[in-house]
Amino acid sequence: MTAKFPDIAPRLPAAEGHDWPEFRPGWVWLTGAGPGDPGLLTLNALHGLREADVVVHDALVDPRILSWARPGARLIHSGKRGGKASPKQRDITLHLVELARAGNRVLRLKGGDPFVFGRGGEEALGLVEAGIPFRVVPGISSGVGGLAHAGIPVTHRDVNQSVTFVTGHDKRGLAPVTVDWEAVAKASPVVVIYMGMKHLGEIAAAMIAAGRAGSEPVAIVTDASLPTQRVLETSLATAAADAEAAGMQPPALIVVGRNVLLRQALDWAGQMAGEPPRSLDPLGTRAQDDAAEG
C-alpha cells in the first residue's frame, strides 16, 4: 500500500556530524520548493517549513508542501496581499522585512529555485538593505528537474556542451527585447525558456531568423513533475500553433534542441504508465558509438 499525504509527512533524518541549521527568530529563509512534486523539496526546505512561524509563498507552491508547515504557522499567499491582485515586488519585500522585524521566523517559499528567475536576488537585496539576516535554501529549478520528469536530459554529450536558460517575459510582461535572441540561437544547442508561452510565436520566429531550423525539435512541458504534467513534442516552426491547438497552459517550460528527441527513449513516466519506448536510438548515434568503442 502506498502512503497518502499527509500521513507520510516526512521526519528529518539524524546524521552523525550533521546539524540542521538553526532557524532564528527575525530571520528570513529564501527557499526553493522545487518544480511541484512535494518529493522534490530539499530537506533544508522541509526543516524550514517545520520551524517557521510564517510561510510567505508563491502561487506555484503545491498545497501539499504547505501542509507540512508547523501546525499553527501562518501561511501567506504573496500573490494576494491585502486583497490586491498582484502586489509589487517592493511590497512583498517590505512585508518580509516587517514580519522579520516583528520577531518571526519567516520562510519565503518560491517555486523551483529562488535564484533562478525567481526574484530571490531582489528580495535578498531588500533584506540586506533593511539589515535583516537571511539564508538562501536552493531548490530544484523546473528547467532542470521539471524536464527530467518529462524524460528530457538538459545536457547530453551527443547534443550539447552548454545550455541557455532564458526568460520569455521581461519586467513589464513583454517579450524580452533585452535578450539577444540571435546570440542565444547561435551559442547554445539547447535553449530552455521559462515564462515563454505568451510570446512563443515571436520567440520561435526570432530564433528561426537567427538561423535555427524550423524543423528543430521543441518540447513544451506544463505542470512538470505533477500528476497533471503534460508534454507536447513539436518543432520550432509549429510550436506556437501546436501549443494553442493542444490548449497548453502555463506554467510551462519550452525546450528547444535535439535533446528533446531523447524523450522517445527516456520518457520514464510514460513507461511507468505502460507505454513502450518509441526508439532505443533516438539520436541515431548507436552505430557510431559501437564503432568508436571498436
Helix H or strand E segment including 286 = helix 286-293
All three cell numbers of 211? 538561423
All three cell numbers of 209? 531568423
Location of C-alpha cell 510561510: 55
Separation of alpha carbons 263 and 245, rounded Å: 21
Binding mask 214-253 for ligand SAH (x = CB under 6 A): -------xxxxx------------------------xxxx
Separation of alpha carbons 78 and 165, rounded Å: 25
Which residues ranging from 126 to 145 are in contact with ligand SAH (CB under 6 A)?
Answer: 141-143
8 A C-beta contact, residue 140 and residue 34: yes
All three cell numbers of 238? 509549429
Residue 60 vs 184, nearer CB to ligand SAH? 60
In a 13 Å sphere around the CA of 69, the CA atoms on its Cβ side amount to 24
Which residues ranging from 48 to 67 are in contact with ligand SAH (CB under 6 A)?
Answer: 60
Residue 61 vs 104, nearer CB to ligand SAH? 61
Which residues ranging from 86 to 115 are in contact with ligand SAH (CB under 6 A)?
Answer: 110-113
8 A C-beta contact, residue 196 and residue 203: yes
Residue 31 vs 141, nearer CB to ligand SAH? 141
8 A C-beta contact, residue 55 and residue 30: no
* Least distance from ligand SAH to the Cβ atom of residue 230, Å: 9
* Least distance from ligand SAH to the Cβ atom of residue 123, Å: 12
All three cell numbers of 36? 511541484
Binding mask 13-42 for ligand SAH (x = CB under 6 A): ----------------------xx------
Which residues ranging from 182 to 201 are in contact with ligand SAH (CB under 6 A)?
Answer: 194-195
* Least distance from ligand SAH to the Cβ atom of residue 227, Å: 11
DSSP 24: -
Residue 35 vs 189, nearer CB to ligand SAH? 35
Q: Which residues contact 229 (CB under 8 A, 6 or more apart)?
A: 149, 150, 221, 222, 223, 269
* Least distance from ligand SAH to the Cβ atom of residue 205, Å: 19
* Least distance from ligand SAH to the Cβ atom of residue 103, Å: 28
118 binds ligand SAH (CB under 6 A): yes
Q: List, by residue number, the catalytic residues.
A: 58, 80, 195
How many residues form the binding site for ligand SAH (CB under 6 A)?
25
Cis peptide before 63 (omega within 30 of 0): no
* Least distance from ligand SAH to the Cβ atom of residue 31, Å: 11
Residues forming contacts to ligand SAH in the complex (CB under 6 A) are 35-36, 60, 110-113, 116-118, 141-143, 146, 194-195, 221-225, 250-253
